[in-house]
Amino acid sequence: MKTPAVLEEVSVAVASDADIVSARMQGRALALRIGFRPTDATLIATAISELARNILLYAASGEIAIRPIERGERTGVAVVAQDRGPGIADLPRAMEDGYSTSGRLGLGLPGVRRLMDEFEIRSGPGQGTTVKVKKWIA
């Protein structure tokens, strides 16, 4: 197993369905390389898929950055999803289960928050959206 300091950040431009698949696969592969169990690597990949899908649905394009992290003795992965889209007008509402402006199930952001250990979001009308999440090896 390589230490996180040896591994580099992976960045995927998101502008198509193929980019979602690429981001998901690269995130899962990086998680496995730093020591996540396959089930946890799949949870990380699922969160990446949801974030990338939101970029495509609401902003048309953006970027997913995935990198290994360390905090003391802990090792994990950080994911940053960023776009320059219209932003989220009602952020508290967007974080409610079942709320969706796209006609989908509305599980994206609340689901990502549940899958990951840490969750942070910045957004506002005309400001785009940045979601930062982290998952630690248990």
Average pLDDT over residues 74-78: 97
> What are the structural domains of the chain?
10-136 (3.30.565.10)
Handedness of CA 1, 134, 128, 45 (dihedral sign): positive
The pTM of the whole model exceeds 0.75: yes
Average pLDDT over residues 35-52: 96
What pLDDT, on a 0 to 100 scale, did the predictor assign at position 82?
98
b vs e for 66-98, b when ≥16 Cβ sit within 10 Å of the residue's Cβ? bbbeeeeeebbbbbbbbbbbbbbeeeeebeeee
Side chain identity, residue 78: A
- Of the chain, the percentage scoring pLDDT greater than 90 comes to 76
Q: Rounded CA gap, 109 and 113, in Å?
A: 6
The answer to whether the beta carbons of residues 79 and 68 sit under 8 Å apart is: no
User: Which H or E run includes 80?
Assistant: strand 74-83
What pLDDT, on a 0 to 100 scale, did the predictor assign at position 1?
47
What pLDDT, on a 0 to 100 scale, did the predictor assign at position 8?
85
Average pLDDT over residues 77-102: 86
The answer to whether the beta carbons of residues 83 and 138 sit under 8 Å apart is: no
With bands split at pLDDT 50, 70 and 90, how would you rate the model's confidence at 104? low
With bands split at pLDDT 50, 70 and 90, how would you rate the model's confidence at 108? confident
What pLDDT, on a 0 to 100 scale, did the predictor assign at position 97?
77
